Amino acid sequence: MELEHIAESLRQSLSGDPWHGPSIAALLADVTPVDATAHPVAGAHSIIELVLHVAAWTQEAGSRLRGNPPGIPAIGDWPASVGDAGTAWASARRTLDQAHADLLELVQRLPAGRLSDRVGDLREASLGTGVSCAVMLAGLAEHNAYHGGQIAILKRALAAQRGNGPA
C-alpha cells in the first residue's frame, strides 16, 4: 500500500489534481516560451529553469532506483536551457514529461521491500542521501510541490507585469 501511495503522490504532484493546488503540468499548460524564459522576479529562477531542475532530480531519483550511486543529477542541479525560447521550452517540457513517465514506471515495478533500502551511506540533505527509498520518493513529491509553488508565483508576477492581475 505504501508503494501505491508514493506512486500516486508523485503522479499527483506532476500531472494530477493534488489537494495543495495545481500540479506542475496544470501550471505549465498555458505558459508560453517567452514567459517560460522570463525573469519577472529579481534573483529568482525562471519557469524553464525550475522545470529543468525538477526534471533533473526526477531523473536522479530514477537513476538511484536503478541501483546507481546517488549524486548530482547527470544533467546538473540547475541545467541550462539550450536554443531559442520556443525550442528550449519544448525540450524542457519533453525532458520533464519523460523523466516523470520513466520514474513512475520504475516505481510501479519496484518491489515493496526496496522502499526501506538506503540511498547512500551518509545523510546529506542537499543530495537527499542517507534516507530510505520511500523517504527519497516522498521527498521528491514534496520537491515538486515546492517548485510548483514557485512557478505559480512567477506566473502571478508575469501577469502583474502585463497589468492582468494575478494569474
Nearest to 58 by CA among 34, 87, 94: 94
* CA–CA dist 161, 22 (Å, integer): 22
Residue 166 placed within a domain: no
Residue 117 placed within a domain: yes
Element (H, E) at 70: none
Residue 84 placed within a domain: yes
Answer yes or no: is pLDDT of 151 > 70: yes
- Percent of all residues in the chain with a pLDDT value above 70, rounded to a whole number: 98
Task: Give the chain's domain count.
Answer: 1
Residue 167 placed within a domain: no
pLDDT, tens digit, 9 for 90 and up, residues 32-47: 999 999 999 999 999 9
Residue 127 placed within a domain: yes
Residue 125 placed within a domain: yes
* CA–CA dist 36, 49 (Å, integer): 8
79's grid cell: 541545467
CATH of the domain at 132: 1.20.120.450
Answer yes or no: is pLDDT of 167 > 60: no
* CA–CA dist 48, 28 (Å, integer): 10
Q: Which residues form the domain of 28?
A: 2-161
pLDDT, tens digit, 9 for 90 and up, residues 74-96: 999 999 998 999 999 999 999 99
What are the start-end ranges of the H helices in the chain? 2-15, 24-28, 33-37, 47-65, 85-109, 133-161
Q: Strand 129-132 and strand 118-124: pairing?
A: antiparallel
**Coil, strand or helix: which one is 122?**
strand
Residue 22 placed within a domain: yes
Contact 67, 11 (CB under 8 A): no
Which of the four pLDDT bands, split at 50, 70 and 90, describes residue 1? low
CB-based contacts of 112, cutoff 8 Å, min separation 6: 2, 3
Other CB atoms within 10 A of residue 157 CB: 17
